[in-house]
Amino acid sequence: MRTGLRALTSRGRSFLASGIAALLMAVILGENDLFRIGVLVTALPLLAAMVVARTRYRLSCARRLDPPRAEAGGEATVTLRLENVTRLPTGLLLIEDTVPYALGVRPRFVLDRVEARGVREIDYRVRSDLRGRYTIGPLSIRIADPFGLVELARSFTISDTLVVTPHVAALPHVRLSGEWTGGGDSRTRSVAAAGDDDVAPREYRQGDDLRRVHWRSTARHGELMVRREEQQWQSRGALLLDTRRHAHRGEGPRSSFEVAVSAAASIGVHLAHEGLGLRLVTDQGAEHLTDTGLSWSLLDTLAMVRNSPARSLEMGVSALRQGGGDGLIVAVLGSLDPEEARELARIRHSGITGVAVLLDVSTWEGGERQAADDHQAVQTVLAGYGWRIVRLPAGTSIASVWQDAANRGRYALNPTGGAA
């Protein structure tokens, strides 16, 4: 009963106060009819509190996100599935799901009645223009009486995560010579010329070619075994993203930083679909990407990337050097000075294709004239070391300028290290 009284709504408290006041006035004035009205008005919220407090509903809840990953600016559908697992029907249920402010207002629904063993499904949509990882849930249910006098809250514990990834643009195919480390169209090599009986088989791993299954060993071990004589040559590349706060201009989804993240996501997904094994590097160092589902791992990482307080690209350049073995380096860069560009440019050598996507931050709101002058100087430095330049001003899609990645630098590097 105490729980029910604490659950009284404003209407219920008003009824209770009015009933008590009517009873007092009836006693003072000696009005029997007023006394009967006071008893009725006082008893109504008390009875409602007692009934709601003694209610023992057992509900199960499940939530489904479709899709579990959505692009910034896209929508996802959340489906709630409520099941009454008791043999008693429920009363009025007020349902509210917990969503972050970035996904919109909290969805609220009213269910008049759920029959015994009944199931209800409720859909609603969420949308965010901001990248990130958002927790949806837990679901809360308010049990109310038909008169709205008492409202008792119950909450589930389950929650789900919606990942809002950067916008990915479809890029045209561009021939980037040098992107395949190890060379060769088949990207395979033979390390043994042993006969079928002499191979050293190993257990099957997801992604192995089924044509390499060694059936004799499979029958002997009772599980799929594959031949070792062919090993895949992994095509490797590196993607550098400049996240320095001072290197970008603008605010919100249209800032140069968000455009840079979207460009990195578009390039990364495009190259991953072409079979390139990528590693992601920022000015803070190397980022961890899982081996499986590379494009999804890249998007999940970029969904959470934030501006860094770093003032230089030194850690990023160092991480690129330590990785080694890259046939292709793509750098998505904000504002940088010619000396920083020179340090980055020196990483590229014969056999490596370097592509620099330069955001012209002077074209964003708050850009300075000096940034425009530095931008031209940076292009000259990078082109002088053989980098291919893709210029990306404000309001331009990476898809419309990606063809420039096929153009070699306009300057040749002379033996002294300068631009000839």
Q: How does pLDDT run across 284-337, given as a tens digit for each residue?
A: 998 888 765 568 899 999 999 999 999 999 999 999 888 766 789 999 999 999
Q: What is the pLDDT of residue 194?
A: 35
Burial of 420 (0-12, 13-18, 19+ CB in 10 A): exposed
Q: What is the pLDDT of residue 352?
A: 86
Q: What is the pLDDT of residue 131?
A: 94
User: pTM for the whole thing?
Assistant: 0.73
- Does residue 138 have a cis bond before it (omega within 30 degrees)? yes
Q: What is the pLDDT of residue 348?
A: 87
Beta strands in 1-102 (DSSP E): 59-66, 69-71, 75-84, 92-97
Q: What is the pLDDT of residue 369?
A: 60
Q: Token match 């949509």: residue?
A: 125
Q: What is the pLDDT of residue 138?
A: 94
Q: What is the pLDDT of residue 370?
A: 56
Instruction: Kindly give the parts of the chain with pLDDT less than 50.
Output: 178-198, 230-234, 410-420
CA 209 to CA 268: how far, in whole Å?
Answer: 25
CA 115 to CA 76: how far, in whole Å?
Answer: 29
Q: What is the pLDDT of residue 419?
A: 41
Question: In 3-state terms, what secondary structure has residue 225?
Answer: strand
Q: What is the pLDDT of residue 112?
A: 81
Q: What is the pLDDT of residue 414?
A: 39
Q: What is the pLDDT of residue 130?
A: 92
Q: What is the pLDDT of residue 13?
A: 86
- Give the distance, in angstroms, between the CA of residue 384 and the centroid of all CA atoms in the same chain: 38
CA 415 to CA 420: how far, in whole Å?
Answer: 9
Q: What is the pLDDT of residue 198?
A: 45
400-406 long-range contacts, CB within 8 A, separation 24+: 402/171, 402/172, 402/174, 402/267, 403/172, 403/174, 405/174, 405/176, 405/355, 406/174, 406/175, 406/176
Helices (H), 99-232: 215-221
Q: Give ∠ CA 98-104-107 in degrees, rounded to 5.
A: 45
Q: What is the pLDDT of residue 135?
A: 95
